[in-house]
Structure 1
Amino acid sequence: MSANPQVERLEAAGPSPAATGESPVWRVAEQALYWVDIPAKKIVRGSLATGQRTEWLLPEQVACIAFDHAGTVLAGCETGLFGVTLADVSKAASGEPLTASLRKLAAPEFPHGGMRFNDGRCDRQGRFWAGTMVMDMAAAIPGGALYRFDEKGVLSAPVVDSLITQNGLGWSPDGTTMYLSDSHPLRRLIWAFDYDVETAEPRNRRVFADLHHYSGRPDGAAVDADGCYWICANDAGLLLRFTPQGKLDRQIPVPAVKPAMCAFGGRDLDTLFVTSIRPANGASEHDGHVFALRPGVSGLPEPEFAGQL
């Protein structure tokens, strides 16, 4: 296993950097990577086979996405969760974003103004989990919460509350451990929970890793086939891998100072894709781009939403 695999910019992501690149999802059926640019209100697709980049423009900020079996997108946005039907890729004109039709599925009661959804994905059984945050991170308001949206279309009450910047969702390969982070500079914590795959209830919350002892802030994550947890160390330009026991066993530098979220993909699910955020000041030529590396381990297919959107 290479300690420092080659990290390359993903050509299929195109030349335009994202302001906040997040939520990479590998679609096995298409052999393509999807991700979002939150403030640009865009869902983006990169085809590895053709190198084609396609964008869809939404009417509000979109932070996290998953797909159902039919290819409809389940998106966590500013005002709630939406079912999003993307206009066909074949209709794309050169350089022009495509349209998307949205249907609101559910919305929590936001306790503060200026909030939106942030990190989200499906558990191994296809239930969608996503958290909320106050967009003004400088205010450090712990008004965020984690929610579950099940296959029947029911949005739960807050399952975990008092979060400042919810992030880092992931599940062990057998689905019995759930991971969650708070990436705010005042928190920098990753938690693990025992997860009941039948009832979808997380219990026994404990600190899995405290990034005050390492570098960066714990942003988005992925779990590999060995059960190890990969976290993007935002502000440190690193990927960190923790064993299921919470031991840091690898760290890989990436060209962007703010890696945001990672996802396994590629034909053999042995490529790790990394989205990044472009700083407002002092950005390098690499910040805001998508990167790819082969870390010597494979991931698991991203679960699809079990309901019908």
Structure 2
Amino acid sequence: MQAELIADTRCATGESPVWVANEQALYWTDIPAGRQWRWQAANGALSHRDAPEALACMAPTEDGTAWVAGMASGVFLLQPQDDGRLSDKRLATAPHARNGMRFNDGRCDRQGRFWAGTMLMDMAAAASVGVLYRYTTDAGLLAQLDGFITPNGLAFSPDGQTMYLSDSHPSVQAIWAFDYDTETGTPHNRRLFVDMKPLAGRPDGAAVDADGCYWICGNDAGLVHRFTPEGRLDRSLAVPVKKPAMCAFGGTNLDTLFVTSIRPDGVDLSDQPLAGGVFALRPGTQGLPEPTFRV
């Protein structure tokens, strides 16, 4: 299956792809640039808006006028401006354990609560200070799980009753599943879903399809893996870069798998000139609409 390049944006860290159906457009972020990108399926037009700090993960609000986002210092409400900026309103400050931390992977659960994890940007330190937070307008920002180095791969099953989470640090490379109480927004009964150490690539960003299978980027291996709900590796699809970062379903029928990627600094990229681009795959299965943030 051939991966199609849709945007040669050369993102340092392309993350958080989100398909917005009523616009027929894909949005994603370049984390360190604090940039939100937009690609229109009808004509391939690219545009972007800039936020005031690193923009890690985001979800559209239910009215479609703004985005809730996990950034460097906290959770923000971002609204598009005509001058190419994203105006920002701080919703909550993250009580980071150390300097040099930021939010990383995140999304909404099926009920519209925003979830996002934090990490120390110096991955070489291997510091397990990362925290998974839940944000709602009524309760604010609440820590739910801790002890992670690089929390990633957050996703929810079609019925919302299973939550998936990974730690992509080389020393961990594990994906867990949790039972998820949809009424209270609480994960429990943590168990190992997949040990990625014997497999190709470190577990990065993820998506769930309509069959309940879990797709996750194999960072460093140029692959996107599909696991059944039982944790069995079903297939692996290739992209022409070493560091795919996160995937999301989109397109008119939600049958296209979009994949963002990382363009590492100070590395010979002659064998992967498209690093940092966004790719489209036709995996032969459909995804689910991305939940919006409910105020």
Mapping 1:29-40, distance limit 5 Å: 29-40=22-33
SS of residue matched to 1:138: helix
Question: 1:231: Cα distance to partner?
Answer: 0.4
Q: Percent of pairs identical after alignment?
A: 58
CA shift for structure 1 position 151? 4.4
Task: Return the match for 2:3 from 3, 7, 20.
Answer: 7
2:44 is aligned to 51
SS of match in other structure, 2:141: coil
Residue pairs, 1:154-193, within 5 angstroms: 154-156=140-142, 158-193=143-178
After superposition, residues 133-152 of structure 1 pair within 5 angstroms as 133-152=119-138
1:134-283 equivalences in 2 (<5 Å):
134-152=120-138, 154-156=140-142, 158-280=143-265, 281-283=267-269
Question: In structure 2, what is the Cα distance between the partners aligned to 1:145 and 1:279?
Answer: 25
1-structure distance, mates of 2:102, 2:230: 32
What SS does the corresponding residue of 1:212 show, helix, strand or coil? coil
* Distance across 1 between alignment mates of 2:229 and 2:137: 28
Match 1:77 to one of 61, 67, 71: 71
Q: Say if 1:119 and 1:166, in contact at 8 Å, map to a contact too.
A: yes
Structure 1: gaps spanning 5 or more residues = 92-97
> What secondary structure is seen at the aligned counterpart in 2 of 1:193?
strand
- For the Cα contact (< 8 Å) 2:9–2:278, is it kept in 1? no
Contiguous gaps of at least 5 residues in structure 2: none
Q: Deviations over 1:22-45 (max 9, x none)?
A: 000000110000000011110110
Query: Distance between the aligned counterparts of 2:79 and 2:23, measured in 1?
Result: 16
* Aligned residue among 94, 99, 103 for 1:108: 94
TM-superposed CA distance for 1:153, in Å, is 5.4
1:56 deviates by 0.7
Question: What secondary structure sits across from 1:269 in the alignment?
Answer: coil
1:295 aligns with 2:283: yes
Structure 1 counterpart of 2:19, one-letter code: W
Q: 2: distance between equivalents of 1:219 and 1:22?
A: 10
- Residue deviations 1:92-133, cap 9 Å, x none? xxxxxx111100000221111100000000000000000000
Task: Tell me the TM-score normalised to structure 2 length.
Answer: 0.97
- The residue number in structure 2 matching 1:68 is 61
Query: What residue number does 2:85 align with?
Result: 99
Moved over 3 A (4+): none
Task: Report the RMSD for the aligned CA atoms in angstroms.
Answer: 1.0
Equivalent position amino acid for 1:77 in 2 = M
Report if aligned partners of 1:105, 1:153 keep a CA contact under 8 Å in 2. Answer: no
